[in-house]
């Protein structure tokens, strides 16, 4: 399809999924949609760029692995989420309005998918560490593999396709004006007590001589309780907090895709990170092995303004190419194949 053709997009989720909006939300303005978001903002740039809608649905199948994880961690809070969340019935979603529908987990029943053959049906799994990750397309056209382990070209449908979480620096900076103060932002999993993922960084006041900033600390095993109790920053507050810093230090134990990496790069921070799927955004100078290595790297960067400018140029170019231009083109190509065939 022509590159200038507007794609009509919808995000679909169930109440338990801590991502996007808390209730079904039609697009009006970028600022209003940003203010409706909470916690995980995956693919916010894509939704804003295309003027997409979010539907929080009830009924239908659910991803048992992902939802069960939340229910095991905090069954009372998960039940309360369902009690307090307005949902739209599956039959009331205007499926025919959309060109692309992106689901958080495979939650739309097969009979609805089959009834709208003109739609490109995509889903991603909430938990990329799940044993079922990417093993079944459930009747969808695309499994959106944000870990980048699948082929990165559209060979035909249905298939798994490497599509990162998209992010656009211009869109984000139009909404959040970064101040880039002399401070270091660290992702939540570096400062919150959470089993083996805990690092004793939250007790420190500075890193490489600079103040540390981070999200409010809560127990990650009780994320929904923190959200319900108002202890989690809004998406706008989170981005403003990130954008107030000059550096991101990202050294987290475990397997992660790296959403904090691309958010920080889009807001103009210098990203210093241990290996994750999205570390491709990092300049080679800023790819570190561990926390101590990361702190030393920031110390050196503080004394090298010329190096900092080169790093920022590298990040901007890589972010635009790998996390915006190419995935947008792949999505358009997938829709063309769905509509026209190979």
Q: Is the pLDDT of residue 13 over 70?
A: yes
Predicted confidence at residue 216, as pLDDT, reads 85
pLDDT confidence band for 186 (50 / 70 / 90)? very high
> Could you please report the per-residue DSSP string of 216-265?
PP--GGGHHHHHHTT-S-BHHHHHHHHHTEEEEEE--SS----HHHHHHH
Predicted pLDDT at 271: 98
Between 273 and 202, name the one with better pLDDT.
Answer: 273
Per the listing, tokens 């001589």 go with 209
**Mean pLDDT, all residues of the chain:** 91
pLDDT: which is higher, 266 or 131: 266
The domain ranges of the chain are 9-168+320-340, 170-319
Residue 2 has pLDDT above 70, yes or no: no
Beta bridge partners of 144: 161
The answer on pLDDT for 193 being more than 90 is no
146 strand-pairing partners = none
Residue 21 has pLDDT above 80, yes or no: yes
Confidence at residue 201, expressed as pLDDT on a 0 to 100 scale: 60
Percentage of the residues of the chain whose pLDDT score is greater than 90: 73
Rounded to whole angstroms, the Cα distance separating 218 from 287 reads 28
Interval 33-54 mean pLDDT: 96
Yes or no: say if 308 and 301 are a contact pair by the CB < 8 Å rule.
yes
In tens, the pLDDT along 91-122 reads 999 999 999 999 998 999 999 999 999 999 99
Q: How big is the CA angle at 168 (ends 95 and 171), to the nearest 5 degrees?
A: 85
- H runs (alpha helix) in the chain: 30-36, 44-50, 64-73, 75-84, 110-115, 169-175, 223-228, 235-243, 259-266, 291-302, 305-320, 326-340
pLDDT of residue 1: 41
Confidence of residue 259 (pLDDT cuts 50, 70, 90): very high
Residue 199 has pLDDT above 60, yes or no: no
Tell me the Ramachandran region of residue 172: left when phi exceeds 0, alpha when psi lies from -120 to 50, beta otherwise: alpha
CA–CA distance, 134 with 107 (Å, rounded to integer): 14
Confidence of residue 61 (pLDDT cuts 50, 70, 90): low
Mean pLDDT of the 174-182 span: 97
Mean pLDDT across 52-73? 79
In the predicted model, is pLDDT for residue 20 greater than 90?
Answer: yes
For residue 38, which of 18, 53, 67 has the smallest C-alpha distance? 18
Asked if pLDDT for residue 192 goes beyond 90, the answer is no
216-254 per-position pLDDT tens digit:
888 877 889 999 998 899 999 999 999 999 999 999 877
Strands 206-207 and 210-213: antiparallel
In contact, 27 and 47? CB cutoff 8 Å: yes
Local confidence band at 197 (pLDDT 50, 70, 90 cut-offs): very low
Q: Which residues of 30-58 are buried (b: 16+ CB within 10 A; e: fewer)?
A: beebbebbbbbbbbbbbbbbbbbbbbbbe
Which has the higher per-residue pLDDT, 340 or 219? 340
CATH number belonging to domain 170-319: 3.40.50.2000
Instruction: Write down the pTM of the prediction.
Output: 0.94
pLDDT at 342: 57
Please tell me what DSSP assigns to residue 142. Answer: E
Instruction: Tell the residue number behind the tokens 């103060």, with chain if given.
Output: 181
- Compute the 3-state secondary structure of the chain and give helix, strand, coil in percent, each to the nearest 5: 40, 20, 40
- Give the per-residue pLDDT at 60: 66
pLDDT score at 127: 79
For residue 203, what pLDDT is reported? 62
Quickly state the pLDDT bin for 196 (edges 50, 70, 90): very low
Q: For residue 17, is pLDDT > 70?
A: yes
Q: Is the pLDDT of residue 3 over 60?
A: no
């Amino acid at each position: 399809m022509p590159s200038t053709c507007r794609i009509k997009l919808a995000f679909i989720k169930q109440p338990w999924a801590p991502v996007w909006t808390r209730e079904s939300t039609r697009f009006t303005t970028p600022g209003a949609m940003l203010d409706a978001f909470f916690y995980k903002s995956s693919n916010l740039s894509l939704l804003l760029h295309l003027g997409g809608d979010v539907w929080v649905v009830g009924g239908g199948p659910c991803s048992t692995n992902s939802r069960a994880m939340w229910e095991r961690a905090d069954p009372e809070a998960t039940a309360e989420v369902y009690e307090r969340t307005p949902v739209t019935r599956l039959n009331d979603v205007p499926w025919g309005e959309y060109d692309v529908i992106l689901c958080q987990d495979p939650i739309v029943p097969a009979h609805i998918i089959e009834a709208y053959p003109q739609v490109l049906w995509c889903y991603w799994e909430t938990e990329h560490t799940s044993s079922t990750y990417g093993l079944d397309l459930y009747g969808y056209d695309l499994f959106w593999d944000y870990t980048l382990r699948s082929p990165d070209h559209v060979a035909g449908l249905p298939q798994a396709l490497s599509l990162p979480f998209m992010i656009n620096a211009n869109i984000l900076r139009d909404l959040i004006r970064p101040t880039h103060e002399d401070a270091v932002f660290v992702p939540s999993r570096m400062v919150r007590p959470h089993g083996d993922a805990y690092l004793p960084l939250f007790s420190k006041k500075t890193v490489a001589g600079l103040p540390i900033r981070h999200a409010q600390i809560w127990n990650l095993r009780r994320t929904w309780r923190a959200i319900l109790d108002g202890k989690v920053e809004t998406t706008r507050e989170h981005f403003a907090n990130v954008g107030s810093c000059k550096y991101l230090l990202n050294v987290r134990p475990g397997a992660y895709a790296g959403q904090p990496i691309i958010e920080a790069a889009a807001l103009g921070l210098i990203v210093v990170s241990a290996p994750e799927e999205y570390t491709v955004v990092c300049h080679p100078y800023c790819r570190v092995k561990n926390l101590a290595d990361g702190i030393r790297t920031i110390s050196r960067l503080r004394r090298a303004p010329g190096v900092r400018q080169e790093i920022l140029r590298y990040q901007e170019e890589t972010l635009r190419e790998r996390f915006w231009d190419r995935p947008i083109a792949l999505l358009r190509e997938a829709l063309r194949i769905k509509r026209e065939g190979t």
